[in-house]
Structure 1
Amino acid sequence: MPEPQLTVAELSESGLLARIFPRLNNGSEQGTSLVLGPGDDAAIVAVPDGRAVVSIDTQVQDQDFRLEWANGYRTTGFDVGWKAAAQNLSDINAMGAKATSMVVSLTLPPETLVAWVEDFADGLSHAIHELGARGCSVAGGDLGRGRELAVTVAILGSLAGKPPVLRSGARNGDTVALAGTVGWAAAGLALLESSQRADTLTPEQRTLVERQCRPVPPLAAGPRALESGATAMMDISDGLVRDGIRMAAASGVVLNLDPAALKELAIPLLPAAELLAADPMLWVLGGGEDHGLLATFPAGVQLPPGFAAIGSVEALAATESTGVNIAGMPADAVGWDHFAD
């Protein structure tokens, strides 16, 4: 156990790595993908399928998370590690693939506590294991010094010989379906940024905060969707409407969402909405970071476990452009944009 106030500036890079490495890959199934792991100049990863699904994502302090929120909640290293793993695993999931390995770049201010970094490694490892990506290994990464905390994860996945599910395959008559949740992380973010103290929240409200800090992407749903013939699929990271517009544009169609299904999605958000006098539908339509899956399936196909129908795909009318409708009316492009928001 490190001294509680020991900082990274008081350790060498090798000393810090020696504390991190034993915490990584805890419980993961060391499959055939990782040939050479951490410790050399580069990792070696096998690609049995001949194709590698690749994604990368970054979290930056005060842009993607705060160390202390307005309501008093303190973001832990475990939170940041978990979220770094979850959001990248979700991107691989959205292609119908399974994650095989990741590399992690961590930028640390010198005053960062060693205990925080160890907690980060634990969060990363536990997310891989508990979210169900046990065949994924941490192959290596990089440590650097900077003014603010920043985490970048690059991840590889395998399609196991199957074709990927793209955003561009939605067809007229398809069923639009959702796996996972929408709006929970956005409701949690609103609670974190409110004046309602974290220690006064109800269990239901705390669950929403947890989904912002530790999202739970439905990793089993992506491969199931591929096996069930999904025509299009994507991760909902920036909001149901914004990401739906992207799928519609890629496919050249309109996604028409069912108001009754959307109202059902808003019900779990009521504990936060009532407390903050907010409209939960705005979180359903515009809230990101739940990392659920938006997918389309041929009409009449039984949806795989974990998916629920929320609308249908329609061909473009002569004067219509691609986008998302709700009961036939265009939905506003609400959602997260890193540069516009």
Structure 2
Amino acid sequence: MPDSVGDLGEFGLIGAVTARLPQGPVVLLGPGDDSAVVAAPDGRVVVTTDLLVENRHFRRDWSDAADVGHKAAAQNLSDIEAMGARPTSLVVGLGVPAELPASWAVELSAGLGEEAALVGASVVGGDVVRSPLVVVSVTALGTLAGGAPVTRSGARPGDVVAVCGRLGWAEAGYQVLSRGFRTPRAVVEAHRRPQVPYGAGVEAASLGATAMCDVSDGLLGDLGHVAAASGVAIDVDPSHLTVAGPLREVASALGADPLAWVLTGGDDNALVATFPAGLELPERWTVIGSVSAGSGVTVGGAEYDGPAGHDHFAGS
């Protein structure tokens, strides 16, 4: 294989990338034509898209190419899960410098495919273009399999709020990496590759979830979207939140508050949902709050003193 993407050329790069992407049963026509064809058995397709920009969402000195691929896929697959749907396929747009090692692009592709395979999805196509920085744009497709989508707008007073997945781990990893360290490995890996609770979205829908959201920009910020869309107030009980040991250790070393990471840290891609009170939820779902009449999100009955989560256009 040529050393760089520029040496490989556009179509050589496409061929090298797609060669490592097996296709699943819903793919009727995969990479190689003007468009892919993916089956949509119930006549509807759930669609989402997300961008990762080098030095904004990842750094090549912090994450290897496979890590970036896993993260790019996971962020989009999680959004499909948050609708109560099952992911089926991904389309990827890739911008790269000509001098980028060709092996880096191929390893990125492998990471994308490996993450998609965790849910039985396929990378079915995309595009490549020359860019001064690495930019990865992923569009994910999913199926509701005859069910109704779980939106952000269905929460009702009297519901409980529950979360599935880890919170604060990716932020702890970011704080470690930003200070030039590479340990504890558990939190660093959490920043590099989210652990999405796959299957939890369909599970929540089957249990009667009234609203749901992917936690990518921070628990409080994303619950704010649910509260606004549903026209309700949400209160989070901090005593019900899990602050894992590795988070406490890192926070102690850095003089930080680990609960703040749990409440406002992004990139863990947990799921948060509202359910009718009285339901018996599976063990991996933890009730952390309640829904009432009103507006906004509070913590322990009081306004949270600090940023609620990540905003792409806040600051520089």
Same fold (TM over 0.5): yes
Residues 184, 147 of structure 1: CA spacing in aligned structure 2 closer, same or farther, 3 A cutoff?
same
Preserved contact between residue 82 and residue 214 of structure 1 (Cα < 8 Å): yes
CA distance in 2, matches of 1:56, 1:272: 33
- Per-residue CA deviations over 1:184-235 (Å, capped at 9, x if unaligned) read 100100011013x32xx2xxx2111111110011111100000000011000
Matched residues, percent identical? 48
Unaligned runs of 5+ in 2: none
Deviation at 1:338, TM superposition (A): 0.3
More deviation, 55-64/298-307:
298-307
CA distance in 1, matches of 2:177, 2:230: 36
Deviation at 1:266, TM superposition (A): 5.1
Q: What's 1:314 paired with?
A: 292
Q: What's 2:301 paired with?
A: 328
Residues 151-170 of structure 1 aligned to structure 2 (within 5 Å): 151-170=136-155
Paired letter, 1:242: G
Residues 265-304 of structure 1 aligned to structure 2 (within 5 Å): 265=243, 267-304=245-282
Preserved contact between residue 210 and residue 273 of structure 2 (Cα < 8 Å): yes
Alignment TM-score, normalising by the size of structure 2: 0.96
1:139 to 124, 128, 134: 124
Paired letter, 2:47: V
Residues 1-341 of structure 1 aligned to structure 2 (within 5 Å): 2=1, 6-25=3-22, 30-31=24-25, 33-68=26-61, 74-129=62-117, 132-134=118-120, 136-195=121-180, 197-198=181-182, 201=183, 205-262=184-241, 264-265=242-243, 267-316=245-294, 322-332=295-305, 333-341=307-315
Unaligned runs of 5+ in 1: 69-73, 317-321
Deviation at 1:304, TM superposition (A): 2.9
Deviation at 1:58, TM superposition (A): 0.5
- Per-residue CA deviations over 1:150-198 (Å, capped at 9, x if unaligned) read 0000111000000011111111111110000111100100011013x32
Deviation at 1:15, TM superposition (A): 1.6
Deviation at 1:267, TM superposition (A): 4.2
Deviation at 1:285, TM superposition (A): 1.1
Preserved contact between residue 84 and residue 151 of structure 1 (Cα < 8 Å): yes
Match of 1:275, SS state, is helix
Q: What's 1:71 paired with?
A: none
Paired letter, 2:32: G
CA distance in 2, matches of 1:221, 1:305: 11
Paired letter, 2:44: R
